[in-house]
Amino acid sequence: MTTTTSPPALTKAPAHPPSPRFSGSGVLRQITVLSGRSLRVLREPAMVLPGVLEPILMLTVFSQVFKSVSQTSSFPPGVSYIDYLLPAFLVTSSISAGLKSGVALTTEMNNGIVSRFKAMPIHTGSVLVGRSIADTMLNVVNLIVMLAAATLVFGYGPEGGVLGSLGAALIAVVLGWSLGWLFMALSAWLRRPESLQPIGGMVNMVLLFASNAFVPADGLPGWLKAVAEVNPMSHAITAARDLALGDPDPGTILATLLCCLVLVVVTVPLAIRSFRRAT
């Protein structure tokens, strides 16, 4: 520095020091505003399209590759493979949706948006509730698109009719919602984006293939069948599938919904607590 820079004079005693401009908002407003923020993606086809196309692509692949499964002896007679497969797809897509909630939260915890919210006079839980609502609504849209595509393109039309399929979708949505909280709790606890995605992806993969999603559990080798039978995903899939195929089992459905509810009751406080602590 070869020039003399004297610090410019500052006004030390202002006539009107600033005071908070707005009076604060209620939890309801916070949740609507924050979920509205996450739902903005719906306005952008470029953001929504991959999420919609991926399951449809998977549906195409699986319905063709595993079609022969419907000729095996363990397969329920008189059921078309697409009718058997789609309810499972509703469930697995919802699990992915739940995982996405966690991943998105981790990303925002790391890029600083969450810190901004946390330094604002709003309830920290609103951030999580807002995300949960938005992601659940996005999942609903996704499942509706899947059902429509399956019906129009692949000739999906199970015994349970429209009501049965909607029931199956509802089970899937509830499952995705509760897993969303589980993954958000994990995300707030782990904090690192690089860990949640692979862990979640791996768990998802194991749960998916060691289940009755694509083939009846009876058709699996003994050890895998044992895993598939205790796999909670199998139960959710069974509940959804029975509904779609017009043969609902109230016990399985209730058990699935109850599990989801318990999961939410346990993970919501955990998620909010870890989230509040994480910086």
Partner 1 sequence: MDTMMIEVSDVTKSFGATRALDGVSFAVPRGTVLGLLGHNGAGKTTVVGILSTLSLPTSGEARVAGLDVTRNAEEVRRRIGLTGQYAAVDETLSGHANLVLIARLLGASRAQAAARAEELLELFSLTDAAPRKVKGYSGGMRRRLDLAAGLVGQPEVIFLDEPTTGLDPSARRDLWSVVKRLVHNGTTVLLTTQYLDEADFLADSITVLSSGRVIASGTAAELKDRVGHRSVSVTLRDAQDRPRAVRALEAAGLAPAHEQDGLVLTMPVKDSTDLAGVVRASDEAGVELAGLAFSEPSLDDVYMALNHSGAH
- To the nearest whole angstrom, how small is the minimum distance from the Cβ of residue 264 to partner 1? 25
In the bound state with partner 1, the residue whose beta carbon lies nearer, of 17 and 250, is 17
In the bound state with partner 1, the residue whose beta carbon lies nearer, of 2 and 71, is 2
Q: What is the dihedral of CA 156, 213, 216, 61, to 10 degrees?
A: 60
- To the nearest whole angstrom, how small is the minimum distance from the Cβ of residue 8 to partner 1? 7
In the bound state with partner 1, the residue whose beta carbon lies nearer, of 100 and 235, is 100
Q: Are 219 and 103 in contact (CB under 8 A)?
A: no
- To the nearest whole angstrom, how small is the minimum distance from the Cβ of residue 138 to partner 1? 14
- To the nearest whole angstrom, how small is the minimum distance from the Cβ of residue 118 to partner 1? 6
Which sign does the torsion angle of CA 180, 175, 150, 43 carry?
negative
In the bound state with partner 1, the residue whose beta carbon lies nearer, of 183 and 275, is 275
- To the nearest whole angstrom, how small is the minimum distance from the Cβ of residue 124 to partner 1? 10
Q: What is the CA radius of gyration of the chain?
A: 24
Q: Which amino acid is at 90?
A: L
Q: Which residues of the chain form contacts with partner 1 (CB under 8 A)? A: 1-5, 7-8, 10-25, 29-30, 33-34, 37, 40-41, 47, 111-113, 115-122, 279
In the bound state with partner 1, the residue whose beta carbon lies nearer, of 118 and 191, is 118
Q: Is 142 exposed, middle or buried (0-12, 13-18, 19+ CB in 10 A)?
A: buried
Q: Tokens 């030390």, residue? A: 12
- Nearby residues of 94 by Cβ (< 8 Å), 6 or more positions away: 139, 143, 172, 173, 175, 176, 179
